Amino acid sequence: MSPESFSPKPKWGQNFLVDRNVLSGILDVAELTPACSVLEVGPGKGILTEAIAERCRKVFSIEIDRRLEPWLAPLEERYPGRVSVLWGDARTWDYDSLPSEGLTRIVANIPYSVMTPLLWTFISHCLKTVRRIVLLLEKEAMERLLAPPETKGRGPLGIVLDALGGGRIVRRVDRRSFSPAPHADSVLAVFNTTENLEIATRDTFRALLEDGFRHRRKTLLWNLRSAGYQCDIVVEGLAFSGLAPEQKVRAEELSTDNWLRMYSYLQART
């Protein structure tokens, strides 16, 4: 397929990075070393893939659109043993099939439409050795991931990412840095994944958070009771977490530490 005949598909959020200043920023914030093994999601035409391959031991690039093979296949030939293009959906990929020495970084330019399931997949399957996730994402979506307690954007996914080490926005990325240009500006952000791995990657921790946020207008006590937790144990868990049940707190009001303490208490009592 010639470059002139390629037509990006909106359903896959195909807005390809073309700004090399942003590319340099991604490489800097990823803190790549020659020993790194990197998972890249959404390589597009391979501008970032090649830059990573020049700095790291190995890059695995997952791409859903086979029409991009004319751009990506030559990179495997140019960097034999260092670039592996994996054709498929990153949300459902079998990450256990990757080499046992493990990944150390994840770099992804992802559309908002797949953000939530993709990040949950990373959390569930990729964090045994990965210690840093670098994302290019729409500004509004990223702000929700970083939402602090007592704000409407607060939710289970953001709390888990905060528990793992938290994140920060590194820089704003103008929509003109992509081709075709998306409808909104993006940001470059980095998340560390070095803390509370034993708890934050558990499906049961995610389930507790989702139960707590099930009905946002209801109190946390009401939501957890409705999910089947015993009332007296939840009350004790709130107190153990540093909260008074009579405050009638809602899920978004809890700090990440409150949630970690609540989870540990409920696990010990149930």
Work out the number of other CB atoms within 10 angstroms of the CB of residue 97. 7
| Separation of CA 154 from chain center | 15
**Of 2-6, 25-29, 82-86, minimum mean pLDDT range:** 2-6
Q: In sequence order, what are the residues at sequence separation of 6 or more whose Cβ sits closer than 8 angstroms to the Cβ of residue 252?
A: 149, 150, 151, 152, 154, 155, 213, 216
The yes-or-no verdict on residue 193 having pLDDT over 90 is: yes
Q: Are 53 and 23 in contact (CB under 8 A)?
A: no
Average confidence (pLDDT) over 100-119: 88
DSSP symbols for 57-88? SEEEEEES-GGGHHHHHHHHHHSTTTEEEEES
Average confidence (pLDDT) over 55-66: 95
Residue of 136 and 14 predicted with greater confidence: 136
**Of 2-11, 142-151, 177-186, minimum mean pLDDT range:** 2-11
Distances (CA, A) of 234 to 17, 95, 248, 263, 267: 48, 36, 12, 10, 11
Q: How confident is the model at residue 28 (pLDDT cuts 50, 70, 90)?
A: very high
Predicted pLDDT at 100 = 63
Q: How confident is the model at residue 2 (pLDDT cuts 50, 70, 90)?
A: low
Work out the number of other CB atoms within 10 angstroms of the CB of residue 156. 20
Q: How confident is the model at residue 3 (pLDDT cuts 50, 70, 90)?
A: low
pLDDT tens, 143-174?
999 999 999 999 999 999 999 999 999 999 99
End-to-end CA, the chain = 58
Among 49, 19, 55, 253, CA closest to 149? 253
Domains and CATH numbers, the chain: 3-197 (3.40.50.150), 203-269 (1.10.8.100)
The yes-or-no verdict on residue 189 having pLDDT over 70 is: yes
The full length of the chain comes to 270
- For the chain, the average pLDDT equals 92
Residue whose pair of structure tokens reads 């994840």 in the numeric block: 106
Residue whose pair of structure tokens reads 């990153």 in the numeric block: 90
**Of 98-112, 169-183, 224-238, minimum mean pLDDT range:** 98-112
Q: How confident is the model at residue 12 (pLDDT cuts 50, 70, 90)?
A: confident
Query: Which phi and psi angles does 98 have, rounded to 5°?
Result: -75, 160
Work out the number of other CB atoms within 10 angstroms of the CB of residue 270. 11
Average confidence (pLDDT) over 172-184: 89
Predicted pLDDT at 211 = 97
Q: Which helix (H) or strand (E) covers residue 39, if one does?
A: strand 37-41
Predicted pLDDT at 4 = 54
- DSSP reduced 3-state for 41: strand
The yes-or-no verdict on residue 113 having pLDDT over 60 is: yes
The yes-or-no verdict on residue 55 having pLDDT over 70 is: yes
The yes-or-no verdict on residue 207 having pLDDT over 60 is: yes
- Sequence-separated contacts (24+) of 55-61 with Cβ below 8 Å: 55/27, 56/32, 56/82, 56/105, 57/82, 58/82, 58/83, 58/84, 58/99, 59/83, 59/84, 60/84, 60/86, 60/98, 60/103, 61/85, 61/86
Q: How far apart are CA 267 and CA 196, in angstroms?
A: 15
Predicted pLDDT at 15 = 86
